[in-house]
Chain A
Amino acid sequence: MAPAATAPRLLGAGVWPRALRPPLLGTATPGRARPGGRTLAGAAIPAVGEPEGSTDISHSILSEPLKHSDFFNVKELFSVRSLFNARVHLGHKAGCRHRFMEPYIFGSRLGQDIIDLEQTAVHLQLALNFTAHVAYRKGIILFVSRNRQFSHLIETTAQDCGEYAHTRYFKGGLLTNSSLLLGSMVRLPDLIIFLHTLNNVFEPHVAVRDAAKMHIPTVGIVDTNCNPSLITYPIPGNDDSPPAVHLFCRLFRTTINRAKQKRRQIEALYELQGKEGPGARGQGPAAPPSLKA
């Protein structure tokens, strides 16, 4: 598929090139989230011992990655050839095809649908980039799947990244009625990653709809029998073969670890700068750190 043809398709799917995105993220982030900064009654707790200069630093920490299209260099983690070797292009039989997946299907061979890996690569890059940004900003990432074959693998992946997993029976009001089920002041996930969008009865997972209700962005691997409409960053690909699922788990784990490491590096860098003396602040923030992980 020519890139020019994919761009309007991507726009139609709701994915925005960075330039057109409203400056929400740019201006509404004056400082990083201050823990415990607000009480229920709305009275502001005075920030304890935060020097005035730190707001500038935290502002630059958060805005720096947004100036580059691929700050975390997720493109190098995979290639169309590696996706092909992991059998990501294999879909289900033509009879199982979901109507909304037709744009992502390359064709069908001997009755089996083949997913277009060029599109998959683009979608995967966007999804990994978004995941990396969420992890960089210390967001909570929840891995969801209901496929019992890979449940243990996904939980281990989440544990390795330092994030969270839910591969068990999903209780109805977990996201929508969280104050009852999880506790009154619980923080909900900032990103939900679906390794399998369907549950064990081949229906869309409840969390897809609930995340959309709760305005939580989702990344999901959609196979040819899945409905990609409610997912923010769908990744058309195979979710049934072990090599494919192993590859996706590895990719997510690498991006999240990479993003967290980058965040630690940048914080350390700014801390060092701060220690060098307030006079050194006139030199301005340092050049963006090297993109090599």
Chain B
Amino acid sequence: MAAPCVSCYAALSYRLFLGGRVSLSQKQGVWKAAAAELQTGTGSQILRLRHTTGVSTKKNVAALRRETYTVDFIKKQIEEFNIGKRHLANMMGEDPETFTQEDIDKAIAYLFPSGLFEKQARPIMKHPEQIFPKQRAIQWGEDGRPFHFLFYTGKQAYYSLMHEAYGKLLEVEKRQNQLQAKGLFSEKTKTKDLIDSRWLIKEELEEMLVEKLSDQDYAQFIRLLERLLTLHCGSEEEFVQRFRRSVTIQSKKQLIEPVQYDEQGMAFSTSEGKRKSAKAEAIVYGHGSGRIKVNGIDYLLYFPVTQDREQLMFPFHFLDRLGKHDTTCTVSGGGRSSQAGAIRLAVARALCSFVTEEEVEWMRQAGLLTADPRVKERKKPGQEGARRKFTWKKR
């Protein structure tokens, strides 16, 4: 039986082997050397022809191409940055050895004052690692063999992470099975309380892996980690914690004014508040009978409208300290309602120093400690007001 495959061997199949060059610049795959290689047939082994035409994509414009930086370029930039830092320290009369990034920022702001509104458009001098985006170096060695065993999947970092996570899952399951077989398995949940941390978001994960992800990929990964958590793994905690970020509770950022003492030994606390264009400053005394003086005038006379007086009383009423504190305030600007709001905010902030942290958190949740950001919206051209349009006429 004659072998039918003679023809396919006769149709010479060769493949070109080009050793990978260690450079980050993206070259076009121009395989014009194919024909020349066939004739010369030097040193390479089994040559196979790959018919790839040298098509240059129209999008290969310098402006659209992603900038690739070589390793040498980045190194040079780092050296230049370090030398420049020392020069700057000399210029400012500081010690070059102990010149920190904050000092650099201050020096640059002093030497190059900029009136630009956009903070990111102002002159900066930072370490090149923060300026140039992180890139992946060339993925294969001199002989053309890729370094990573999952290189041919296209998404090596993501899939290797999935592989690792799944490996850990299998390990934990195996260990639990072994313990169960010996009868030593206990249902104790040793997992840390995860209420103060959140999963990494997709952008953060992309940044960590230096690789683009799709939404489904991200969802799969989070699902795998959740599954790992449900197995009560004690040993894989650090692995999972790498992908969680802490969520700081807002109230911990609350600035509490310290209590001051005047000549008579009376405790008091001062604070400021704003609402629209009204600015207020309030002094709340630790003990008193609930008297409020605004700009030297009693609040009953300064705010004839009940609604404004209710606004002043709200912080005290919320904390059940209605008749226990004396207050003196100064207020300027705005109208009657905004002045009342400004004083309310100032009084609430001042009260924080006399009150427990829990009550501060309650006040924050009630909205007493948040400055109202609403201001009058500007009028736009082509409209009668900020939102109101001119009357629409059909013809």
Contact = CB atoms under 8 A, between A and B. Distances in A.
Interface stretch (A77-85, A136-144, A244-252): A136-144
B144 A35 contact: yes
Given A32-B45, A187-B144, A159 B149 contact: yes
Contacts of B48: 215
Interface in B287-303: none
B181 interface: no
B48 to A, nearest CB: 5
B21 interface: yes
A12 interface: yes
Contacts of B151: 164, 182
A163 B147 CA distance: 10
B9 A40 contact: no
A69 interface: no
Contacts of A2: none
11 contacts: A33-B17, A36-B20, A38-B19, A42-B36, A156-B167, A166-B152, A182-B154, A185-B21, A187-B146, A214-B50, A215-B15
B150 interface: yes
B154 A174 contact: yes
B140 A186 contact: yes
Q: DSSP majority for the B interface?
A: loop
Interface residues of A, number: 55
B41 A28 contact: yes
Interface string A1-34: 0000000100110101000101011001111111
A22 B149 contact: no
Nearest to A50: B43
Instruction: Pick from A20, A33, A156 the residue with the most CB of B within 10 Å.
Output: A33
B143 A35 contact: yes
A257 to B, nearest CB: 15
Nearest to A20: B3
Given A186-B20, A187-B145, A42 B37 contact: yes
Contacts of B40: 44
A243 interface: no
Given A25-B46, A185-B18, A215-B15, A164 B143 contact: no
A138 B20 contact: no
A67 interface: no
A40 B34 CA distance: 9
Instruction: Pick from A29, A138, A184 the residue with the most CB of B within 10 Å.
Output: A184
Given A29-B46, A34-B19, A164-B152, 12 more contacts: A12-B4, A14-B5, A20-B3, A24-B46, A36-B21, A40-B18, A41-B32, A140-B146, A152-B163, A165-B150, A174-B154, A184-B29
Interface in A181-195: 181-189
A181 B50 contact: no
Contacts of B45: 28-29, 32-33, 137
A11 B27 CA distance: 43
Q: DSSP majority for the A interface?
A: loop
A168 interface: yes
B79 to A, nearest CB: 28
A37 interface: yes
A142 B146 CA distance: 12
A33 B154 CA distance: 26
Contacts of A181: 154
B42 interface: yes
Interface residues of B, number: 54
B154 A35 contact: no
A229 interface: no
A171 interface: yes
Contact of B152 (A16, A20, A138, A189): A189
A252 to B, nearest CB: 14
A165 B149 contact: yes
A47 B5 CA distance: 37
Contact of B37 (A28, A35, A38, A162): A38
Interface string B163-194: 10011001000000000000000000000000
Interface of A: 8, 11-12, 14, 16, 20, 22, 24-25, 28-42, 44, 47, 137-138, 140, 142, 152, 155-156, 158-159, 162-166, 168, 171, 174, 179, 181-189, 214-215
Interface in B1-30: 1, 3-5, 9, 13, 15-21, 26-30
A65 B17 CA distance: 22
Contacts of B89: none
Given A40-B33, A42-B36, A168 B17 contact: no
Contacts of A11: 1, 3
B370 interface: no
Contacts of A187: 17-18, 20, 140, 144-146
Contacts of B167: 152, 156
A290 to B, nearest CB: 27
Contact of A171 (B44, B150, B154): B154
B319 to A, nearest CB: 59
Contact of B43 (A14, A34, A162, A164): A34
Contacts of B166: 152
A187 B28 CA distance: 15
A215 B47 contact: no
Nearest to B11: A215
Contacts of B153: 166, 168
Instruction: Pick from B4, B21, B151 the residue with the most CB of A within 10 Å.
Output: B151
Given A35-B19, A152-B163, A155-B149, A179 B52 contact: yes
B146 A164 contact: yes
Contact of A28 (B47, B50, B154): B47
A260 to B, nearest CB: 12
The 10 closest A-B pairs by CB, nearest first: A187-B144, A36-B19, A42-B33, A179-B29, A35-B19, A42-B36, A35-B142, A215-B13, A8-B1, A35-B143
Contact of B163 (A31, A38, A155, A179): A155
A271 to B, nearest CB: 18
Contact of A33 (B33, B43, B149): B43
A155 B44 CA distance: 31
Contact of B149 (A31, A36, A164): A164
